[in-house]
Structures are given as C-alpha cells and as structure tokens.
Amino acid sequence: MALLPLGLAPKTIKYLMFAFNLLFVFCTLLIAVFVLEIIGGTMGYVMRENVTSVVKGKMLNTMAGYNSTKDIQLIWDDLQQDFDCCGTTNATDWINRYSGIPMSCCDRAVGTIGSTNCTLESPTLHSMGCLDAFAHFAEKHAGKIAGVGIGLGVIQLLGIFLSSYLAKSIKNCYQTM
C-alpha cells in the first residue's frame, strides 16, 4: 500500500478486480466454445452418413420451389454452374418435377446469346448430381478443412492459456496490495 498515492488504492483494486472478472468470463466462454466445437466436430464425423441423407432430402425439397422462389432459383443455378452438376442425384430430378432441365445444368456454348434448350441429349449437360459433386468437393478439401479447424483450435487454446495466465497475474497483484 505504501507505493500507491493516497486515495488511489481503492480505485486500483476496483479496476484490478474488474479486469480479473472480465478475463475470467472471457476464458470461460473460450473454453465453452472450444468444447462445443469439439463436440460438433465429433458428432459430424460420427454421423456423416446421416448428413448425406438429410442434405439430399433438403435439396429435393428446395427443388420444389425452383420456379416459384427467385432466391431458390439463384442458389440452384449458382450451385449447378459452380460445381458442374445437375439436380440432386442427376438431371432426371428436374424432369420428374418440371418436365424440363434448367439452363444452369448445361455449359453455355461460346457465342450463344439468350437461352438455348438444355435437354438430356445436350452434349454440355452436367452429368453428375450436385449431392455427389459437393461430396467430392468436401472429400477433396477435407485436409484443408481439418487444417483450418485445428489451426483455429490452437489459437483458441492459446487464448485460453494467455487469458487465464493474465487473470492469475492480476489476482496475484491484487493479493499483494
């Protein structure tokens, strides 16, 4: 107490305790998020077969809104063009629902203007379904996805360690006053 000017000790102690409590809450939240990420990653890995069937069902359901909802149409068109795919399992998904195939299922020929018909016989028809195309994309990039997840986990662990160390230092400083 002798090192602090008169009148500053209670204020300093108050701010030290506030900083300690704030760091404690931050560290606790980091731990909670880290644990939830571990649980989510584990469950995703264990239930990966169920994920495929759920995604397939959702994709088939959204196909029903292709002609009625502009957002769904844009999402499907972008998906089919970006992944070079057509429908959920293949192009017949569209024929079974709409008796036609969207233009996004075919590569646009160089020099064409406007819309041309995309049919099952079109040479530029994307033959792979979007579910398989997305699964191949995920498998191809699984290492990168895992690397990013592990990297974020290491950063979180570092944050947990440093915040708990700083909170301990503040607590020790408070106890010596």
Contacts of 125 (CB under 8 A, 6+ apart): 86, 91, 101, 105, 106, 118, 119
Which band of pLDDT confidence, cut at 50, 70 and 90, is reported for residue 176? low
Looking at the predicted structure, is the pLDDT value of residue 64 above 80?
yes
Whether residue 163 contacts residue 19, with contact meaning beta carbons closer than 8 Å, is answered with no
Token pair of 22 as six digits: 């704030």
The answer to which of 15-24, 51-60, 81-90, 146-155 has the lowest mean pLDDT is: 15-24
Whether residue 26 contacts residue 160, with contact meaning beta carbons closer than 8 Å, is answered with no
Looking at the predicted structure, is the pLDDT value of residue 166 above 70?
yes
Q: What fold characterizes domain 33-137?
A: Cd81 Antigen, Extracellular Domain; Chain: A (1.10.1450)
Which band of pLDDT confidence, cut at 50, 70 and 90, is reported for residue 1? very low
- The residue written with tokens 């662990």 in the block is 157
Domains in the chain: boundaries: 33-137
Q: Give pLDDT, residue 143.
A: 87
Looking at the predicted structure, is the pLDDT value of residue 9 above 90?
no
pLDDT (average), residues 45-68: 88
**If we measure between CA atoms, which residue out of 157, 177, 155, 166 comes closest to residue 24?**
166
Tallying the residues shown for the chain, one arrives at 177
The answer to which of 26-30, 50-54, 74-78, 83-87 has the lowest mean pLDDT is: 50-54
Question: pLDDT tens for residues 116-140?
Answer: 678 888 888 999 999 999 989 988 9
Whole-angstrom CA distances from 150 to 37, 48, 116 are 11, 19, 47
pLDDT (average), residues 2-25: 71
Terminal Cα-to-Cα distance of the chain (whole angstroms): 6
Q: Give pLDDT, residue 7.
A: 54
Whether residue 170 contacts residue 19, with contact meaning beta carbons closer than 8 Å, is answered with yes
Which band of pLDDT confidence, cut at 50, 70 and 90, is reported for residue 158? very high
Contacts of 60 (CB under 8 A, 6+ apart): 88, 93
